[in-house]
Amino acid sequence: MKKFIECIEEVMKEAFAASGYDDKLAKVTLSNRPDLCEYQCNGAMAGAKLYKKAPIMIAKDVVEKLQGNSVFESVEAVNPGFINIKVSKEFLASYLNDMLADENLSVEKSNAPKTIVIDYGGPNVAKPLHVGHLRSAIIGESIKRMGRFLGHKVIGDVHLGDWGLQMGLIITELSKRKPELVYFDKDYQGEYPEEAPFTVSELEEIYPTASGKSKEDENYKNEALEATLELQQGRRGYRALWKHIMDVSVADLKKNYEKLNVEFDLWKGEADADAYIPDMVKYLKDNGYAYLDQGALVVDVKEESDTKEIPPCMILKSDGASLYNTTDLATIVQRMEDYHPDEIIYVVDKRQELHFIQVFRCARKAKMVEEDTELSFVGFGTMNGKDGKPFKTREGGVMRLERLIDEINEEMYKKIVENRSVRDENAEKTAQMVGLSAIKYGDLSNQASKDYVFDVDRFTSFEGNTGPYILYTIVRIKSILSRYTEEGKNPEEGTVRQAVSASEKALMLELSRFNSVIGPAFEEKAPHKICSYIYELANAFNSFYHETKILGEEDEVKKTSWIRLLVLAKEVLETCIGLLGFEAPERM
Ligand code: ARG
């Protein structure tokens, strides 16, 4: 469906043209003086210079052409030359009826659907998930869902960190603890056991222990580096151990992501890129992109316009080991081969920006992607505690994701039980749903690139700009609709009529904006735009609700119209929270 604002702009353009002015001036925007009007056009101001005429004269000419037009309730020229618009209630109601009838609630699917790979989550195998990985998962999942809603083919890849030093560290520590394991026997030729020689909790203890030791003991660290290199070079026993580490931790990761409503299409990782490295290195050398610098293989990526120094992209260390750059570049090769994407989006901590600048430039310079393949970096800020420092446990340790989720859910559970409107058996499930909304909305309502304070009290509140407030609003609508159904009536029938109150019209105006929010939110990879929209929509609904006795209304035509409005509000809100990655319960 055409956007509501475009419908207005179209009429405005005609009026500009009919008065002899350039119709490019006829830009319509949401009003920044909602007390005076709903939309406005400032084109006459811009036209003053062009036509050497007072802007108010131009505005008056245009307005004159618009009198009696069915799109407007009123359209006025005001000093010094603004055009103030109120839209017609009839036109607004008919737009909302069209929305109700539209299968995608007025949002048009892209007419040039793209194939997009989105790289998000990025957990490191064998290290517990911590809050740093939470943001990537939450933001990435939302961008993925928005893209799909707009008709793009979006492939989500978790891109595990499964090839680095942490693997060498675990192998080294295991070799100290259980040197008798067959994995360490270089001469062993047989099959390796199917069962892992450790459990997930052991694994989670082994890694920090090993990492601690390597910081204190140079020899230990060198052993771990050597083990990493041997693993990467294909030592059989180490590969077999690696496989065990993978199986055990991936099973655990999947469980955690499921709790977050985050779902990946691909569970590939850095290790999968390994097979592409030799050919890639050869290609970079043969074509003169890469050269040896003090034994290391590098590609220059600086550009003339750089204001700060961008160091060369290192492809291989002098000992031949691959690096983070190497796996990311080889992964690009693999993704181009497998999916030929139009765009690859990386949702990663913004502190890694330089890395991605180097990788993107190298990929482009060496023609590893097509000229029109977009490489996008969505860098997010840090999640801080109330003290303004990176979020920690109360005891000051690294906050594990599981623990954070449990704490929020407990908090929600307490609030919900206090509320007592839900029978106990549902309270736990409801608490999980509301808890997830608190975490996700709390994160997504901030512009991704900014640091933000994770404030449990504020995020779990039922009032204010929070996930629980949005859910509360949806649940309120659902409860009215189910009581209406209990009256023996069907909320799916009937038409939206002209607004009879200011709060009703305000709600209708908010609803009509839906399709103009989603497209830009996706283009700009900005889920926070959806959050601000639904916050305003929820506020508009609640003002209307507090002023209107919906079910008590005796005029059936009015009542039906309101119910239809509620149905639309519910659908729009539920669609939006779906795009943000959470759901509303039936009751709260
Ligand atoms: N595993 C990395 C980390 O924890 C994030 C991976 C991001 N994705 C990528 N393609 N580099 O920092």
Q: What is the pLDDT of residues 51-93, one digit of tens each?
A: 999 999 999 999 999 999 999 999 999 999 999 999 999 999 9
Helix axis angle for 236-259 and 401-419, nearest 10°, is 20
CA angle 253, 380, 258 (to 5 degrees): 20
Measured between alpha carbons, how far apart are the two ends of the chain, in Å? 34
458: confidence class by pLDDT, cuts 50, 70, 90: very high
- The span from the CA of 530 to the CA of 513, in Å, is 11
Ligand 1, closest atom to CA 124? Answer: 1
Q: What percent of the chain has pLDDT over 90?
A: 88
Alpha carbon of 223 to ligand 1 centroid (Å): 24
| pLDDT averaged over every residue in the chain | 95
Q: State the pLDDT at residue 522.
A: 98
Whats the size of the chain, residue-wise? 588
- The span from the CA of 314 to the CA of 318, in Å, is 10
Neighbours of 181 (CB within 10 A): 17
| Res. 394: pLDDT tops 90 | no
| Res. 44: pLDDT tops 80 | yes
Look-up of token digits 């929600």: 412
Specify the residue with its C-alpha closest to ligand 1, atom 5.
Answer: 122
| Res. 8: pLDDT tops 90 | yes
Ligand 1, closest atom to CA 352? Answer: 12
Ligand 1, closest atom to CA 133? Answer: 4
Name the residue of 129, 136, 159 whose CB sits within 8 Å of the most ligand 1 atoms, as the mutation to test its pocket. 159
Alpha carbon of 346 to ligand 1 centroid (Å): 9
Question: Mean of the pLDDT values across residues 88-116?
Answer: 97
Give me Rg for the CA atoms of the chain.
Answer: 29
Specify the residue with its C-alpha closest to ligand 1, atom 12.
Answer: 122
Specify the residue with its C-alpha closest to ligand 1, atom 2.
Answer: 122
Name the residue of 351, 352, 355, 401 whose CB sits within 8 Å of the most ligand 1 atoms, as the mutation to test its pocket. 352
Alpha carbon of 94 to ligand 1 centroid (Å): 48
Which stretches of 260-400 are DSSP H helices?
270-273, 277-286, 324-339, 353-365
Alpha carbon of 161 to ligand 1 centroid (Å): 6
Q: State the pLDDT at residue 399.
A: 80
| Res. 547: pLDDT tops 60 | yes
Q: Which CATH number fits domain 4-87: 3.40.50.300, 3.30.420.40, 3.30.1360.70, 3.20.20.70?
A: 3.30.1360.70
| Domain 401-580: CATH superfamily, name plus number | Isoleucyl-tRNA Synthetase; Domain 1 (1.10.730.10)
Question: Mean of the pLDDT values across residues 470-480?
Answer: 98
- The span from the CA of 486 to the CA of 328, in Å, is 57
| Res. 353: pLDDT tops 70 | yes
| Res. 387: pLDDT tops 60 | yes
| Res. 422: pLDDT tops 60 | no
CA angle 502, 497, 103 (to 5 degrees): 110
- The span from the CA of 230 to the CA of 98, in Å, is 64
Alpha carbon of 130 to ligand 1 centroid (Å): 13
Specify the residue with its C-alpha closest to ligand 1, atom 11.
Answer: 328
421: confidence class by pLDDT, cuts 50, 70, 90: low
502-505: long-range contacts at Cβ-Cβ below 8 A with a sequence spacing of 24 or more?
A: 503/540, 503/543, 503/544, 503/547, 503/548, 504/544, 504/548, 504/562, 504/565, 505/89, 505/92
In the structure, which protein residues have their CB atom closer than 6 angstroms to any atom of ligand 1? Answer: 119, 122, 124, 159, 161, 328, 346, 348
Q: What is the pTM of this model?
A: 0.95
420: confidence class by pLDDT, cuts 50, 70, 90: low
229: DSSP letter: H
**C-beta separation of 180 from 141 below 8 A:** no
Residue 401 structure tokens: 């994701």
Ligand 1, closest atom to CA 331? Answer: 10
Question: Mean of the pLDDT values across residues 180-186?
Answer: 96
Residue 380 structure tokens: 């997010």
Alpha carbon of 269 to ligand 1 centroid (Å): 9
Question: Mean of the pLDDT values across residues 127-149?
Answer: 92
Look-up of token digits 């295991």: 174
- The span from the CA of 314 to the CA of 300, in Å, is 9
Specify the residue with its C-alpha closest to ligand 1, atom 6.
Answer: 122
Q: State the pLDDT at residue 401.
A: 85
**C-beta separation of 448 from 139 below 8 A:** yes
Alpha carbon of 133 to ligand 1 centroid (Å): 9
588 to each of 310, 364, 432, 481, 545, how far by Cα in Å?
Answer: 53, 51, 11, 15, 18
| Res. 397: pLDDT tops 80 | no
In the chain, what are the domain boundaries? 4-87, 165-259, 401-580
Question: Mean of the pLDDT values across residues 206-226?
Answer: 95
| Res. 418: pLDDT tops 90 | no
Highest mean pLDDT: which of 113-122, 398-407, 415-424?
Answer: 113-122
Backbone torsions φ then ψ of 84, nearest 5 degrees = -100, 135
Q: What percent of the chain has pLDDT over 70?
A: 99
Q: What is the pLDDT of residues 481-506, one digit of tens each?
A: 999 999 999 999 999 999 999 999 99
Q: State the pLDDT at residue 201.
A: 86
